[in-house]
Amino acid sequence: MSSSSQTSRRCALFALALVPAVMLGGCFRPMLAEPGNGSPGLKNRLAAIAIDPVDDRVGQQVRNRLSFNLTGGAEAPPARYRLVLVTSSSSDSALVDALNATPQIDTVTLTTDYTLLDPATDKILLKAKNFTRKSYNSGLQRFATVRARRDAENDAADVMADQIRLRLATWLADHP
């Protein structure tokens, strides 16, 4: 084969691959963009989720981070949805020092059950459960281990809030 036929063949294949991308280029719209028809966008619908109070420290961390993620720090509009969070935390030793039988690496597992409700009827719109794990170093210093566990729980709460926000955004995008 000559080099000119290979070049023309490559150009034809490139053009063929480029045609669908050009045709579908106008179909893309970011998920959090405002719709052109004046209806509330996904960003405003996420901000309209009121989160019920929780009882424990880790649950409060998830609630605070999720509340900020949903509203972006702005004032929340009137509630169109209600979110109930139930969070639990557990710790396991993942790696134990064989010489003195002390744990070196522990893992915090954060579990959150959440339910999205219609506040007018208390009808369940979405019910889901998420898990998050975070490892931390533990050693012989008791207070350092307590602080490391708390930091790991806070980090896991941050990840959990992101996961819940993403799941809520996906559900709200599918159910206008």
- Can you tell me the distance from the alpha carbon of 173 to that of 58, in angstroms, rounded to the nearest whole number? 28
Mean of all residue pLDDT scores within the chain: 84
Residue 117 confidence class, pLDDT cut points 50, 70, 90: very high
Task: Provide Rg for the chain, Cα atoms.
Answer: 24
User: pTM of the prediction?
Assistant: 0.75
pLDDT tens digits, 26-44: 665 555 656 555 556 788 8
- Can you tell me the distance from the alpha carbon of 5 to that of 150, in angstroms, rounded to the nearest whole number? 66
Closest CA to 112 of 91, 132, 82: 132
Q: Which of 3-12, 35-44, 79-88, 158-167 has the lowest mean pLDDT?
A: 35-44
